[in-house]
Amino acid sequence: MATKAPAYFWEADVELEIKNLAFSVSEKDEGRGAYKKRIFYADWLRDGKIYWNPAQRVKGWINKNLPLVKSTYKDQIQAVKVFPFDGQGLWEAIAEAKDMIGVGFGEDSKPEDNMDYSALANLPYPHKQHITVKDAKGGVARSVPLYWLVLPGPINIKVKVMSFARSIEPEMIEEALRELGKATGLGDKHNHGFGGFELKGFKSEKKRLKL
């Protein structure tokens, strides 16, 4: 009679140091004609504190970057989890609003008359960039502004990574975090040089499932 092979998994305590973490500032237009205003808001700002979801962001980073190390990982990446609970709904305060930097409130950078910045009154005016997007049919292009603020840091975060994938060893995750984190960061605008990080700690342990 064949015996069932024991099932194993590994988990690792991970510490990262992040710099220049970007936070997108949302905006929407309200009103019509001369009464139209652009309203700014940010779901990451509460009571003067900056909230972020480290586990969710690290999970997204692993999903995107690990298959770059080895293409076959793409089919197994869902077996890699980042806790607590892949970050679902778990935001934590990582800084004060006063720690954010933007372009300031100089004479040339203050909000225009048709902008309502009251919800972000404790923050500097954000960086701004225009991008060109096309409509749903890929036709008419229009210019859309993007706004963001930067938390210079450094900010240290700790998460737990767990894997049930047989072929994904902790050393591969560690090496990816150590090397790729310098080139592709975490957070908003990570593809534009923001949110780069250094691996400060990686302690893994292999465990046997008790079924």
Give the pLDDT of the chain (211 residues) as one tens digit per residue.
444 555 558 999 999 999 999 999 988 877 666 677 888 889 999 999 999 999 999 999 999 998 888 888 888 888 899 987 655 667 889 999 999 998 754 444 556 667 788 888 778 888 888 777 666 666 666 777 788 999 998 999 999 999 988 788 899 999 999 999 988 999 999 988 899 999 999 999 987 766 5
Residue 46 included in any domain: yes
Task: Identify the pLDDT of residue 197.
Answer: 96
pLDDT on residue 27 = 85
Q: What is the pTM assigned to this prediction?
A: 0.82
Asked whether the beta carbons of 7 and 211 are under 8 A apart, the reply is yes
Q: Examine residue 71 and state whether it is found in any structural domain, yes or no.
A: yes
What DSSP designation does 19 have? -
What tokens were used for 71? 């293409």
Q: Within a domain: residue 27?
A: yes
Domain presence at residue 210: no
Q: What is the Cα–Cα distance from 67 to 64, expressed in whole angstroms?
A: 7
Residue 2: inside a domain, yes or no? no
- Which residue has 């808001």 as its token pair? 41
DSSP H or E stretch at residue 64: helix 54-69
Is residue 5 in some structural domain? no
Q: Quick one: which of 130, 112, 128, 121 has its CA closest to 38?
A: 112
Structural domain harbouring 88: 10-205
Tally of structural domains, the chain: 1
Is 87 inside a domain boundary? yes
pLDDT of residue 36: 77
Is residue 4 included in any domain, yes or no? no
Residue 125 to residues 1, 41, 76, 104, 107: CA-CA distances in angstroms? 71, 12, 42, 5, 11
